[in-house]
Amino acid sequence: MPREFTPKVVTANALLSGEVVYLTANDDWSPRLSEAEILTDEAHAQLRLIEASARQSEIVGAYLADMAQCDDGPRPTHFREEFRRTGPSNYAHGKQADL
């Protein structure tokens, strides 16, 4: 029996900076998970992933990441995505410096 589809976002790394980015509903890339488009339909999610993967001059490694829908936006359901969202762990820079 197939597994039930859960909410997802399209995520990748920005080609030039390496920053973790998320695809928004306006087809922009944002470093903020709160701005990501939450995909609740499997066919639409696959289409958005295909479209994102074609943007090779902007990003690398696009994939669908599992998320939970919350009042303040998507929240990672796996520790890997939480780790990616918060940025490098070696010292406070980038996203961590803004916190």
Three-state DSSP at 57 gives coil
**Is 99 inside any structural domain?**
no
Three-state DSSP at 71 gives coil
Three-state DSSP at 35 gives helix
User: What is the greatest pairwise CA distance in the chain?
Assistant: 45
**Is 96 inside any structural domain?**
no
Summarised one tens digit per residue, pLDDT across range 31-85 is 999 999 999 999 999 999 999 999 999 999 999 999 998 888 899 988 888 878 8
Q: How many domains does the chain have?
A: 1
In this prediction, residue 90 has a pLDDT band, given cuts at 50, 70 and 90, of low
**Is 97 inside any structural domain?**
no
Give me the domain span that covers residue 79: 8-90
Residues in the chain: 99
**Is 95 inside any structural domain?**
no
